[in-house]
Structure 1
Amino acid sequence: MKPSLMLRALLPALLLSSIAAAQPPSAQAPSSQPLSAQPPTAQAPEAFIADYASKHQFNGTVLVKQRGEVVYSGSFGEANRAFAVPDTRQTKYRIASITKLFTATLVMQLVEQGRLDPERTIATYLPDYAGPAAQRVTVHQLLNHTSGIDNMDKVTSAEQAISEGIPAYQHPWSSDQLLARFASGPLVHEPGKVFDYNNGDYVILGKIVERLQGKRFDEVLNERILQPLGMTDSGMLYQHDIVEGLASTYFMRDDLGRLVNDLPVYPENWYAAGAMYATADDVLKFSDALFSGRLLKPATLATMFTPGLDDYGYGLWSYTTKVDGKPYRVVKRPGQIMGAQSQLYRFLDEDLTVVILSNTGTTDLDEFVAAIGKRYVTARQARR
């Protein structure tokens, strides 16, 4: 069984990292019938999106850009259910583990500057790091989740989270405390040998970015990515901040049979692993800049996109999918924290990007994003 499948089997959608959404389409579980049995040409892409959103209770925004042009934009459902505020293209969403791709980009910018070597260990850049991984785990292994460090997410069921709470996220830990308490544990795997999706790996990377830049992670993020790209509707979430236009998030309580408010948490505790918010347009700005080489050089991007264990590169999954029997290179960055779900999906050979941001845990976005992408590829092939 692939590690991503194993994790999906163990952890329900409530759980608090991107694990539930973090798998390539080859590992997806279909809803009613396999996608392979659904002809991509049966519906125009726009009609398919509307139909799927309705049938699968999708709440959120979908944005599709192909060959330099936004070819689809649509929002569904409500950003705030108590006040019946609709989701719109301007709605800000929690983007969960898409944050990891921003963090990986900041790390690789340091590599390009000659200030960081991915093959050096944690202790090289954090000499006061107290965990046993200090001299054994490399930056490369943090980036591709093969560090072997004990996983910081110990909650294994929705019932446990509801009854016992979520220790890493329901106390106001500082990033230094997160590092010491949740990302400095024992080595449970030999470094480099096992893929284990661990938010703690990206907590460590965030602290390395801070140490080398001499600034807080959010300041580096603003200076290196958000401000240069004009991403004015994006940032890091903090419990003490009120973000205008931010969607409330809701998850499905199976025991109650309805959506409920997400559990109370300190969103900043996801830190460099998952604490960002953005609009769909801002995620697209980041995607455009990243994949066009404006943030990193082509050779650096090639390194990021090189699949390791579980087809994971640096901050994203990288693999080959097929549309009408033809192979296409795809990279994918999903995210999920309770009701917050997100997808950044890119066909590298087709200049096609699909962004999906959602504020309810009601829809299988792995299936949805793959189906959208395949339909737009097929539609373009038909026009040739």
Structure 2
Amino acid sequence: MKILKKINAIFLLLFSLIIVFDVKVQAQSKVKRKIDSLINTNSDKPFNGVILVKQKEKILYENIRGLSDIQSNKKLNFNDQFVIGSISKQFTAVLILKALDEGKIRLDIPISTYLPNLKQKWADSVTIHQLLTHTHGIINLEEPLAFKAGSRYAYSQIGFDILAQILENVQHQSFSSLSNKLFEKCKMFDTFHPDIKKYKKLVNGYTENTDGKLVFETETFENYVAAGGFISSANDLAKWNEQLHNGKLLNSTTYQMMITKQPVAIRQHPLFGKTEYGYGITVSDDNELLQYGQTGFTPGFISMDFYFPATKTSVIVLDNFVWTPNDLKKAFSFHTAILQIIKESL
């Protein structure tokens, strides 16, 4: 009788595991069908890029669609490199927080401490914390602050360039060298500062002009690298998420600072509405689904990288066709739709 009970218990356990596995397979198949249907829809403004959805070490979805070079009709490859726009801010924020871990900076003292050659009066009031949270008020190195430092939020690129200058001064290395060492530590061998001329798989970026035609983008690298100019691949960004959010880059205290919603750092995002920021990253817990990440836009490229810590899921979309550049909701329509499909499945 005891043996029979054990056999029944084992049978019930196996049966329940089979049911759970079947549910997961069906859910994954449903996600695949939805995304495939989305990106394969006939359109005069088609999706052109790479999609990767990864949960821990398992790939839940991956797809490539389109061209890396229109003129030569060269198709995209999964390991191709893209300029990732504001996703770059995470790299800069981590380098700053690593310097904090090493005791080389403080976040709450004036940046004139680290940039003594910066002669503007506001250098004696703006802090690194304010640079990280877009609450500094700097609009130009030669102009007064737009508002009192720390009093309000204004999304900024120049603030992250100043962070790169601070890093160079306190670490006595170029920003490109510092970032390259970070990527090597993460085994991100397809990720580069553009000054490190080792990228061999960078795709061409294209922007729709006023005539509705895609043209090769010549201003991709006009942005500050620390704010939006790094080059990466889908696989490398998945590695980044795994390293960053699983305690391999920062100590627990500084990591918590990075992913904590910071007072005043609230933006009316063109895609998501009210959006709250940590350090170089957005933090959302809508519907009790915790999400970290960022979108990126730079001439010729649009990108997205979000991470869901509860399930250790990365959602990455890299695209080198920028349709309707003056309407970001339309330009990011594939990206936001893919993100929503994944959120509904988690």
CA apart distance, 1:51: 2.0
Equivalent residue for 1:91, pick from 80, 96, 115:
80
Structure with bigger gyration radius: 2
1: CA distance between counterparts of 2:59 and 2:143?
Answer: 45
SS in 1 for 2:310: coil
* Cα offset, 1:378, TM superposition: 4.3
Q: How many residue pairs get matched?
A: 301
Identify the residue that residue 326 of structure 2 maps to in structure 1.
none
Alpha-carbon distance, 1:355 to partner: 1.0
Query: Contact 2:52–2:62 at 8 Å: present in 1 too?
Result: yes
CA–CA separation in structure 2 for the residues paired with 1:75 and 1:144: 34
Given that residues 99 and 274 in structure 1 are in contact (C-alpha distance below 8 angstroms), is that contact kept between their aligned partners in structure 2?
yes
The answer to whether the 8 Å contact 1:235/1:278 transfers is yes
Structure 1 position 258 matched with structure 2 position 202: no
Is 1:319 aligned with 2:284? Answer: yes
1:375 aligns with one of 317, 341, 344: 341
Long gaps (5+) in structure 2? 1-26, 267-275, 324-328
Cα deviation per residue 1:31-85 (whole Å; 9 max; x = unaligned)? xxxxxxxxxx8x8111222222234611111111114322211111111111111
TM-score of the aligned structures, taking structure 1 as reference length: 0.73
Task: Decide which moves more: 47-56 or 108-117.
Answer: 47-56
Could you tell me whether the CA contact under 8 Å between 2:111 and 2:126 is conserved in 1? yes
Alignment identity in percent? 27
User: How far is 1:285 from its partner?
Assistant: 1.0
Alignment of 1:277-288 (within 5 A): 277-288=231-242
CA distance in 2: counterparts of 1:368 and 1:293, whole angstroms:
31
- Partner of 2:189: helix, strand, or coil? coil
Could you list the per-position Cα deviations for residues 315-336 of structure 1 after superposition, in whole angstroms to 9, with x for gaps in the alignment? 01112223xxxx2111121110
Pick which of 338-347 and 99-108 moved more.
Answer: 338-347
Q: Over residues 109-155 of structure 1, what are the superposed CA-to-partner deviations in whole Å (9 max), with x where a residue is unaligned?
A: 011111111111110111111223200101000001000111xxxxx
Measure, in 1, the Cα distance between the counterparts of 2:277 and 2:38: 28
Backbone CA RMSD of aligned residues? 2.3
Q: With structure 2 as the length reference, what TM-score do the two structures score?
A: 0.81
- Greater RCO between the two (CA within 8 Å, min separation 6)? 1
How far apart in 1 are the matches of 2:48 and 2:297? 14
User: Which amino acid in structure 1 is aligned with residue 201 of structure 2?
Assistant: G
> What is the CA distance between 1:204 and its match in structure 2?
0.3
Per the alignment, residue 349 of structure 1 pairs with 310
Alignment gaps of 5+ in structure 1: 1-40, 151-181
Q: How does 1:214-229 map to 2 (within 5 A)?
A: 214-223=172-181, 225-229=182-186
Shift of 1:86: 1.1
Pairwise mapping of residues 61-80 of structure 1 onto structure 2 (< 5 A)? 61-80=50-69
> Which of 274, 282, 299 is matched with 1:338 structurally?
299
* Whole-angstrom CA distance in 1 between matches of 2:245 and 2:251: 10
Q: Kindly indicate whether the alpha-carbon contact (under 8 Å) linking 1:350 and 1:377 is maintained by their aligned counterparts in 2.
A: no
The answer for the alignment partner of 2:319 in structure 1 is 358
Offset at residue 192 of structure 1 (A): 1.1
Mapped contact 1:132–1:187 kept (Cα < 8 A) = no
1:48 is the counterpart of 2:37: no
> What is residue 137 of structure 1 aligned with on the other side?
126
Task: Give the match for residue 58 of structure 1.
Answer: 47
Change (3 A) 1:351 1:184: farther
